[in-house]
Structure formats: structure tokens, C-alpha cells
């Protein structure tokens, strides 16, 4: 029995029933459902009793439902599976009660489902990739009428973000676009992305701090990806990159890349060996990207094989969010001051929660009249090449780009059960030999994109979803449809007219 409705993974209303507590009081039962405590313990037919101040578990029901033995002693109580003999749970004795802990992911899922339905502050916190509440208050004061930013907290942020900074804050000296490009590589990720990528590389314009992120299958692709980026910049914006700054990674000193630098007259600057802090802007950007990536994945239980999509979405969001270093302008707005004729395609898309459930039109060629008219998919970002959202259909492993979508933002597509067996440490870079100077021991993999119109026409890598080159960049000006000042209209699930529907078949290991 529980008095906390947010604990339920599914819920059914009950009428006219009550339960008698230890002191003889009758308490009304309002429903029942399943509560998942951790990856091994799912409790069925748990009663929802609103007046109950704590959660109570029946030992007989526990042992019957889970087919386990329950062993009590003077310090703890262990649950042991009868078949495998493995311990599936352990409760510690505190003040006469055995307390069974739940996993942190359960808490995250709970906070998402509970808060997302009622609080516009949390809704925007999730949509924007978990910026701090103080910062959100500065950006959107209308959200905090009669509310204090420090009265909000988010468990996903606690798990996803670093608490200490190893880099000094950067100073900002405006110049002009593409005079200096900062770059860094991250990887290899322990988990391959959906398109088998394990690395990513960032290119950051020093003037606007706008970021392009590319996913890489191998870091040997560095030279070819930079050539693509250089050509995109020249063709789309008419600028030639003058300075290129990176750390001392060997991939930045490959002969092919050095020859290209010489041919184009690009001056290469690198940090000293063992001092990645000298490449601080790129290192900081990577850390920020990884923090937002983790937050996006954790919020809606998205499996790690979609980390690349989360990373590109993180880039999209960071490019569009005001930065303190830029005196609360966004990277995109500074960049577009020099290129006013560019209008990022994706900037017209209202922001939605990454990983939420969506329904798109079913265009299967062999569909009969009795087949479903729509497909249940998961939202995995914003396309920079087409006017539409990026959608993924896990059963068929197909990606789609479309605007003909019905959103269920408050429903996470993936449940806790679907990420069983994964560990948080999988998001840490794999140690390689020799040690990779780019890898931060506690960081995640990430990549970022630019505004659609600003992105290169051809994706640098054969990525199913992403137009690798650019990630859409946001600014407050590009969030109008979603801005908190118009939040009421955004709360509704919206269906938009179709513009394009694109699919690509991919298979994953
Ligand atoms: Zn958060």
C-alpha cells in the first residue's frame, strides 16, 4: 500500500473499497497498479490509499509474487530468489522498520511523471535541457510569478551534472565569425550510438560560441570531417577559417590534416601535452554538452544507444539558450547578426521534451484498412535538414522526420523496465591505451548541431537521424512558439500538418 500516486507505473481506479489500518481506522482505496522498486522488484496490485503516510509491503505477498524467500535478522532483511538463489533486494533496519531502497532512476522517473503534469517551470526545465532554476528565472521571469527559483529542485540535475569546475571561466572577446575555431574530440563511448558511432568532434566559433557537432565512428575521421566543415563554412557563409585551436591529440596532427592546413593557410594552435585546460573553451563546451546529454537521457529513461541523438539535441538547445559569457545573448543570435538572411529551419519548431511519446502517420506501403493509422514513436530531436522533428520507431528501428505529430509530452516512451541491465557508468568514456587525453573520467559522450539552414548540406557521417554537420542554434528569438509567455497554448498536445515524412532503415547490433 502507498499514499504516493507518483510511484505507480500503471494505475487503475478503484471504487467503494477501504482498508483498515493498525489503529482500526478505515482508509479509502482509490486505485491500484504496479510499482517498480528496482530492476528486480516489480510489485503488482499495489493499493493506492491517499491517507497513508508511508509505504507498506506485505511479506507474504512479496514472497509469493516474487517467488523469493525473505530472511530477517537484527540488522537487515534480504530477499533471495528461490530459483537462482540470487539476492534481489535488501532492506536495512531503522527504528524498528526494515527500509527497502529504490533505485535513483525510479526517483527520476517519478519526478518526471509527477512534476511534468502540473508545473510549467519543470516542463520548461525539461524541454530546455535542464538549465538551473535561477537561470531559468532570469530568462523567463513570467514562469516564476509567485514562485521562487530556489524552491525548485531536480534529481536528474543532481545525477547528470558536475559539481566542481576544473576550468577557469573563459573571457569573451568579440571578433568576427570563423576567425578562430576551437575543437575537441570525445570518446570512445562504451556504448555505440544507433549508427555505430563511438566518438564525437566539436567545432566552436570563437566569436559567437556557436557549436557544430559531428558523430564519428572512429577518430581517424577527424581530417575528413574538418574538410567537410571547412567547405561548408566557405560555401554557405563565404568565410575562410583562419585559426584552428585544439589540444595535443594525435588525430589533430595527422599528415592529411596538416597538409590541408598548409594548403589553406590555416594556422594551427595546440595546447601543451598534458594540459588540456589550455583548450578550455572546447573542453568546457564538451562538459556542458555531456551534462545536457545525460539530463535528456535520464529524464525519460532513454536507452544509451540513442546518446548521439541526445547529444545533437543538446547542441541544438545550447546554441539557442542565452549564455552568461555572451552577456545573455545566445550563440545563434550573435552568429545570425552577421548572416541575417539565414533562417534556421528548425527554429520554427516548438520545443518538446526529448524522449516523450509521439504518434506519427503510418505510411507503410502494405498497410491495410484494418491496420493502425499511426505509429507510436519516441521524439529524438530536431532535424536540421528538414522542417520537422526527428522520430524513432524502436520496434522497426526506423527513423522518421516529420511535423505530422501528436505529442504526449508527459509520457515517457521508454519505461524503467526497458533500460534494465544498463548502468550509469556506461556513459563514461572507455579507457583506451594509450590514455586518451580528451576523455574526462566522469564525462559522457556528446555532439552538437547548428541551426538547420546553417548546417552543412551533407551529413559528415552516415548518421540515420542526424545531419551531422550542424546543429540548430537557439535564441530567445527562436523560441517564440514555446516561450513561457505563451505557455498555455504550449501545454496542449499539438497536431501539425504534414510536411514531409522521411525514413531510413538502420540495423543495430
Ligand atoms: Zn534538471
> What is the rounded distance in angstroms from the CA atom of residue 190 to the CA atom of residue 484?
38
- Tell me the mean pLDDT in the region 344-356: 82
pLDDT category, 260, cuts 50, 70, 90? very high
Ligand 1 geometric centre to CA of 125 (Å): 6
Identify any residues that bridge with 393 across adjacent strands, giving them in sequence order. Answer: 398
CA 219, 225, 230, 232 dihedral sign is negative
Ligand 1 geometric centre to CA of 111 (Å): 10
Task: Please report the pLDDT score of residue 243 as a whole number.
Answer: 95
Pairing of β 243-246 and β 267-270: parallel
* Model pLDDT for residues 137-162, shown as the tens digit of each residue: 887 888 888 888 888 888 889 888 86
Ligand 1 geometric centre to CA of 473 (Å): 21
* Mean predicted lDDT score pLDDT of the chain: 74
Asked if 127 and 353 touch (Cβ cutoff 8 Å), the reply is yes
Residue 51 clears pLDDT 50, i.e. is over it:
yes
End-to-end distance of the chain based on CA atoms, in angstroms? 41
> What is the rounded distance in angstroms from the CA atom of residue 116 to the CA atom of residue 484?
15
> What is the rounded distance in angstroms from the CA atom of residue 62 to the CA atom of residue 71?
12
Angle CA 229–230–234, to nearest 5: 115
> What is the rounded distance in angstroms from the CA atom of residue 480 to the CA atom of residue 502?
26
- Tell me the mean pLDDT in the region 297-322: 95
> What is the rounded distance in angstroms from the CA atom of residue 30 to the CA atom of residue 17?
8
Task: Please report the pLDDT score of residue 474 as a whole number.
Answer: 32
Residue 191 clears pLDDT 80, i.e. is over it:
yes
Put residue 13 in one of left, alpha, beta given phi > 0 → left and psi -120 to 50 → alpha.
Answer: beta
> What is the rounded distance in angstroms from the CA atom of residue 318 to the CA atom of residue 167?
19
Q: Is 197 exposed, middle or buried (0-12, 13-18, 19+ CB in 10 A)?
A: buried
Residue 194 clears pLDDT 70, i.e. is over it:
yes
Q: Which residue has the higher pLDDT, 72 or 220?
A: 220
Residue 259 clears pLDDT 60, i.e. is over it:
yes
Rg (CA), the chain: 25
Residue 381 clears pLDDT 60, i.e. is over it:
yes
Ligand 1 geometric centre to CA of 295 (Å): 7
Residue 437 clears pLDDT 80, i.e. is over it:
no
> What is the rounded distance in angstroms from the CA atom of residue 491 to the CA atom of residue 63?
43
Kindly state the cell numbers that stand for 394: 524502436
Task: Please report the pLDDT score of residue 167 as a whole number.
Answer: 52
Q: Which residue has the higher pLDDT, 240 or 272?
A: 240
Kindly state the cell numbers that stand for 128: 530546455
Task: Please report the pLDDT score of residue 146 as a whole number.
Answer: 82
Q: Give pTM, 2 decimals.
A: 0.64
As assigned by CATH, the class of the 180-351+415-490 domain is alpha beta
Kindly state the cell numbers that stand for 392: 524513432
Residue 114 clears pLDDT 60, i.e. is over it:
no
Ligand 1 geometric centre to CA of 131 (Å): 7
Residue 399: closest CA among 304, 307, 465: 465
Ligand 1 geometric centre to CA of 360 (Å): 28
Q: Where in the chain are the domains?
A: 1-56, 60-102, 105-160, 180-351+415-490
Amino acid at each position: 500500500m502507498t499514499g504516493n500516486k507518483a510511484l505507480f507505473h500503471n494505475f487503475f481506479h478503484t471504487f467503494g473499497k477501504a482498508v483498515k489500518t493498525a489503529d482500526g481506522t478505515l482508509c479509502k482505496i482509490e486505485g491500484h497498479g504496479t510499482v517498480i522498486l528496482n530492476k528486480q522488484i516489480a510489485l503488482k496490485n499495489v493499493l493506492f490509499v491517499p491517507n497513508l503516510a508511508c509505504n507498506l509491503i506485505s511479506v507474504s505477498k512479496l514472497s509469493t509474487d516474487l517467488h523469493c524467500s525473505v530472511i530477517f535478522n537484527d540488522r537487515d532483511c534480504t530477499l533471495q530468489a528461490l530459483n537462482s538463489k540470487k539476492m534481489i533486494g535488501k532492506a536495512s533496519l531503522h527504528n524498528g522498520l526494515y527500509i527497502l531502497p529504490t533505485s535513483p532512476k525510479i526517483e527520476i522517473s517519478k519526478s518526471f511523471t509527477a512534476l511534468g503534469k502540473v508545473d510549467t517551470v519543470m516542463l520548461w526545465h525539461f524541454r530546455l535541457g535542464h538549465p538551473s532554476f535561477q537561470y531559468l528565472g532570469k530568462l523567463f521571469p513570467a514562469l516564476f510569478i509567485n514562485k521562487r527559483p530556489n524552491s525548485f529542485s531536480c534529481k536528474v540535475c543532481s545525477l547528470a551534472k558536475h559539481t566542481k569546475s576544473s576550468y577557469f571561466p573563459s573571457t569573451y572577446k568579440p571578433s568576427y565569425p570563423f576567425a578562430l575555431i576551437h575543437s575537441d574530440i570525445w570518446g570512445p563511448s562504451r556504448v555505440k550510438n544507433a549508427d555505430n558511432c563511438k566518438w564525437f568532434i566539436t567545432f566552436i566559433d570563437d566569436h559567437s560560441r556557436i557549436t557544430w557537432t559531428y558523430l564519428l565512428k572512429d577518430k581517424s575521421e577527424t581530417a575528413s570531417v574538418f574538410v567537410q566543415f571547412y567547405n561548408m563554412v566557405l560555401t554557405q557563409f563565404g568565410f575562410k577559417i583562419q585559426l584552428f585551436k585544439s589540444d595535443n591529440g594525435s588525430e589533430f596532427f595527422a599528415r592529411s590534416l596538416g597538409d590541408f592546413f598548409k594548403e589553406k593557410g590555416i594556422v594551427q594552435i595546440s595546447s601543451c601535452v598534458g594540459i588540456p585546460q589550455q583548450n578550455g573553451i572546447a573542453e568546457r563546451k564538451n562538459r556542458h554538452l555531456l551534462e545536457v546529454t545525460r539530463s535528456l537521457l535520464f529524464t525519460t529513461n532513454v536507452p544509451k544507444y540513442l546518446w548521439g541523438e541526445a547529444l545533437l539535441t543538446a547542441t541544438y538547445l545550447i546554441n539557442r539558450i542565452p549564455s552568461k559569457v555572451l552577456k545573455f545573448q545566445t550563440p545563434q543570435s550573435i552568429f545570425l547578426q552577421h548572416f541575417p538572411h539565414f533562417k534556421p529551419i528548425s527554429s520554427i519548431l516548438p520545443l518538446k521534451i526529448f524522449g516523450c511519446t509521439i504518434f506519427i502517420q503510418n505510411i507503410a506501403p502494405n498497410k491495410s484498412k484494418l491496420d493502425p493509422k499511426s505509429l507510436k514513436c519516441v521524439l529524438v530531436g530536431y532535424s536540421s535538414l528538414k522542417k520537422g522533428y526527428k522520430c524513432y520507431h524502436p520496434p522497426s528501428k526506423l527513423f522518421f522526420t516529420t511535423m505530422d505529430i501528436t505529442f504526449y509530452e508527459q509520457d515517457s516512451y521508454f519505461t524503467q523496465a526497458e533500460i534494465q541491465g544498463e548502468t550509469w557508468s556506461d556513459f563514461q568514456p572507455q579507457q583506451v591505451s594509450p590514455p586518451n587525453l580528451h576523455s574526462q573520467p566522469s564525462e559522457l559522450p556528446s555532439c552538437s548541431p547548428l541551426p538547420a539552414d546553417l548546417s552543412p548540406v551533407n551529413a559528415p557521417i552516415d548518421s540515420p537521424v542526424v545531419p551531422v554537420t550542424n546543429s540548430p542554434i537557439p535564441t530567445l528569438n527562436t523560441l517564440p512558439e514555446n516561450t513561457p509567455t505563451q505557455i498555455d497554448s504550449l501545454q496542449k498536445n499539438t497536431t501539425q500538418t504534414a510536411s514531409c515524412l522521411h525514413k531510413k532503415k538502420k540495423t543495430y547490433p
